[in-house]
A and B are shown apart, each in its own frame.
Chain A
Amino acid sequence: MSVNPFDARTVLLAKHAQHVVLIHFPIALFTAAVAFDYFAQWAKSRTLAAAAYFNLLLAAVSTVPVVATGLAAWQWALEGQKLKGILLMHLVLGCLSSALIWFVLWIHLRIRRHPDESLPKYRLPIEAVAVLLVGLTGHLGGFLSGVNGPG
């Protein structure tokens, strides 16, 4: 397939490059955020807690273009046809992962408005589940793109 540099669709979605590239940001940032948060909890370090918060904030923000490009690829490359199998699982898990990342950010944001309160411990298992979901979504995405596949 020839690539036309003046065709917006081709430029934005050529080989779904944007989705595949952008997805690495929330994965890396959220995983780092959770690691910092666990260390902050263990070491009772405010510096590590701050690092966790800013990584988490960037992770949440970076889910927006990732979800947008994923949905755009579905609508444009597959013309929005009904998904099933791995594609459907990838879509559902991707949305769930993004929602969980925002939920974890909300927990952190809520406490930051009240500096005298400490972060609830129940966030830690939620963060762990979110990391697992993000990993599973990424694995399915890699499988779909061929990175994790037999090819």
Chain B
Amino acid sequence: MRKSVSTAVLLATLGFGIAGLGGGTGTFTARAQQKPETAEVKIDNFSFGPSELMVPVGTTITWTNRDDIPHTVVSTDKLFKSKVLDTDEKFSFTFSKAGSYPYFCSIHPKMTGKVVAQ
């Protein structure tokens, strides 16, 4: 009787342990999948850097204006459009669909860039 109780306790402990380990692994995997991807584009000296960026779908890109001049970030396809960004101001957009997204500065249309989400 005593032996069977001990065996039951041992099995229960093992069961909880495995369940806990499994749950832990599952949580870790879920967190790794849900962790949002981010990338940065700096606006400096009348250019976007990097001018072309390849990112996984779901990535949030943040543009930061490091220039002394105001700039904008405007998608050629009108998918996104920032307000006028003064020095050190930021604009973010999440690319939830795969595709190629060219953009430009509407104040200085010669300034162009591209995001490729895949």
Answer whether A and B are interacting partners.
Answer: yes
Cβ-based interface call for B109 (8 A): yes
Which range holds the interface residue count of chain A?
10 to 19
Give the interface centre of A14, A77, A143 by most chain B CB atoms within 10 Å: A77
**Contacts of A143 on B, CB cut-off 8 Å?**
69
**Contacts of B46 on A, CB cut-off 8 Å?**
146, 149-151
Report how many A-B pairs have Cβ atoms within 8 Å: 44
Query: Does B45 lie within 8 Å of A151, measured CB to CB?
Result: yes
Query: Does B69 lie within 8 Å of A78, measured CB to CB?
Result: no
Cβ-based interface call for B86 (8 A): yes
Shortest Cβ distance from A84 into B: residue: B86
- Chain B 103-114 against A: per-residue CB contact (8 Å), 1 yes, 0 no? 010111110100
* Complex partner residue of B110 from A15, A79, A84, A149, CB under 8 angstroms: A15
Query: Does A85 lie within 8 Å of B70, measured CB to CB?
Result: yes
Binding site for A on B (CB under 8 A): 45-47, 68-70, 72, 76, 81, 83-84, 86, 102, 104, 106-110, 112
Binding site for B on A (CB under 8 A): 1, 14-15, 77-79, 81, 83-87, 143-146, 149-151
List 6 extra interface pairs beyond A81-B84, A84-B84, A145-B108, CB under 8 A: A1-B102, A1-B104, A15-B109, A78-B84, A78-B106, A81-B83
